[in-house]
Amino acid sequence: MTDLEYLKKYYKGNLDDAIKRLESGEAVQYIVGNVDFLDYNFDITHNTLCPRFETEQLVSELLELIWKNNFNPHSILDIGTGSGCIAISLANILDVKVDAIDISIEALDVAKQNNHKYGDKVNMFQSDIYSNVKDKYDIIISNPPYIRYDEEIMDIVKTNEPSIALYADDSGLYFYKEIISKAKNYINDKHIIAFEIGQEQGNDIKEIALKYFPNDDILLMKDYAGLDRFIFIMSK
């Protein structure tokens, strides 16, 4: 389906105005204002990332690990929740306690709107990584900002999506280092830490993970395009 066909099928407002927005370079998902993710539909704005197939796969791969290893989680923390798509999907599929955090109040407003749509099952609050987190969890999951500031990205991403959710210091590794280095204060002994990553960051993040979790299984997985895209840190 082309962007124009998608717009004609799903946009509810003035189509002529919407086409002008599309022609000016605005992403069709932001014009429509929502996007499908797994079995759900999430509202999005320019204050949130547009959920992608790779992030769907992150959730699917995590669920596969949980079921394959007979892991029975009772609590999940989603760091940098954005639209809330990860947290809300997991809360509805697994029926466990899920906390979702973001530094952006504007993103949290969107996430809370989506959460209400699907039963208000997720506890959402503002936090700069762990700054307001008090509990420990069985699973920590995150699709953090990971693009280098000097990295070339598509104009449609650069001009539509919030830079706070895209770019990170330390060659894009800042949030992985922060989350992993402090994770033992916020995660239970039996655990999984799950990340979406940049396609060239796998080996660097594996090294960080092994530094702080030397006895864990560190799994680097590829996306459907065959690119390194996910890291799972799993207790043995």
Residue 24 shares a structural domain with residue 45 = no
Residue 225 shares a structural domain with residue 144 = yes
Residue 11 shares a structural domain with residue 85 = no
* Res. 149: pLDDT tops 70: no
* Res. 41: pLDDT tops 70: yes
Which of 63, 18, 57 has the alpha carbon at shortest distance from 37? 57
Question: What is the pLDDT averaged over residues 204-219?
Answer: 97
The whole-number pLDDT of residue 160 equals 67
Model confidence pLDDT, tens digit, residues 117-138 = 999 999 999 999 999 999 999 9
- In this structure, the strands spanning 40-43 and 34-37 are antiparallel
Question: What is the pLDDT averaged over residues 155-165?
Answer: 70
99, β-bridge pairs: 77, 123
Question: What is the pLDDT averaged over residues 175-179?
Answer: 96
Model confidence pLDDT, tens digit, residues 180-211 = 999 999 999 999 999 999 999 999 999 999 99
CATH at residue 73: 3.40.50.150
Residue 119 shares a structural domain with residue 2 = no
Residue 13 shares a structural domain with residue 126 = no
The parent domain of residue 230 ranges over 38-234
Residue 18 shares a structural domain with residue 97 = no
* Res. 26: pLDDT tops 90: no
Residue 193 shares a structural domain with residue 178 = yes
The whole-number pLDDT of residue 153 equals 66
Find out whether 196 and 143 touch, Cβ atoms under 8 Å: yes
Residue 16 shares a structural domain with residue 62 = no
Q: Kindly give, in sequence order, each residue whose CB lies less than 8 Å from that of residue 60, ignoring residues fewer than 6 positions away.
A: 38
Mean pLDDT of all residues in the chain?
A: 93
Domain count, the chain: 2
pTM value is 0.92
Residue 152 shares a structural domain with residue 217 = yes
The whole-number pLDDT of residue 127 equals 98
The whole-number pLDDT of residue 94 equals 96
Q: What per-residue string of b and e applies to 101-138 under the rule 16 or more CB within 10 Å gives b? A: bbbbeebbebbbebbeebeeebebeebebbeebeebbb
When mean pLDDT is compared across 5-19, 148-162, 186-200, 215-229, the lowest value belongs to 148-162
Residue 48 shares a structural domain with residue 10 = no
Find out whether 232 and 192 touch, Cβ atoms under 8 Å: yes
35, β-bridge pairs: 42
Model confidence pLDDT, tens digit, residues 95-109 = 899 999 999 999 999
Residue 9 shares a structural domain with residue 84 = no
* Res. 87: pLDDT tops 80: yes
Confidence of residue 6 (pLDDT cuts 50, 70, 90): confident
When mean pLDDT is compared across 151-160, 167-176, 200-209, the lowest value belongs to 151-160
Residue 130 shares a structural domain with residue 25 = no
Helix 105-117, helix 85-94: angle, nearest 10: 30
